[in-house]
Chain A
Amino acid sequence: GEDVEQSLFLSVREGDSSVINCTYTDSSSTYLYWYKQEPGAGLQLLTYIFSNMDMKQDQRLTVLLNKKDKHLSLRIADTQTGDSAIYFCAEIKDYKLSFGAGTTVTVRA
């Protein structure tokens, strides 16, 4: 299985907040990433966080990093139907990315 672990599914009501969790394995990873993939499309970099940071906020996105527990989360505020997609967290080592299995987020009206 993947070294990076994520829950597989998340259903959220439009307007609510979504929280996607991820655990990674390599404590030496310098950056941790969140990517979004819509059906049939490539990867879109949503945000990333440097390993010496605890939190990063970018508009509706908030990334929290607990380096001690190797836990990463992505919070999407005011979730919209356009946020329905698969979200991948990834860690990097030697410029190679290791991805989690992806969390399928479904936004319901």
Chain B
Amino acid sequence: GAVVSQHPSWVICKSGTSVKIECRSLDFQATTMFWYRQFPKQSLMLMATSNEGSKATYEQGVEKDKFLINHASLTLSTLTVTSAHPEDSSFYICSARDFKVADSGNTIYFGEGSWLTVV
């Protein structure tokens, strides 16, 4: 099946620095990818929709300048957490849909997620 890869899986950064997380679709093209955030023992919350070649669409309450999303190619979307603070520590996970495949319900693929710890 299709694979979505995230990198890094784990990252620790100092408060005030920026960190970039990559989401790649390995064997299909994804014009749209989605970024979710999960706090410990909580559900996943959609942060933004990443659109190839255009600006991301952010969900209400998500700071655009804080969480920069770039979708420069059909197989790569990046999430940059700028000026990270401890409250940004979370599990970030992306998903992508293979739009070339007819929608059968099983066309959304998740990455393995990235654990961010800001110290």
Contacts and interface: CB of A to CB of B under 8 A. Distances in A.
Given A2-B43, A99-B43, A41 B105 contact: no
The CB with the most chain B CB atoms within 10 A, among A33, A50, A96, A97, is that of A96
B12 to A, nearest CB: 15
Contacts, number: 47
Query: Taking chain B's interface residues, is the majority helix, strand, or loop, or is none over half, making it mixed?
Result: strand
A95 B108 contact: yes
Contacts of A48: 105-106
Contacts of A27: none
Contacts of A31: 105
Given A43-B93, A95-B97, A88 B113 contact: no
Contact of A42 (B45, B46, B113): B113
Interface residue range, chain B: 20 to 34
A40 B113 CA distance: 9
B46 A96 contact: yes
Interface of B: 32, 34, 42-46, 49, 93, 95, 97, 103, 105-106, 108, 110-113, 115
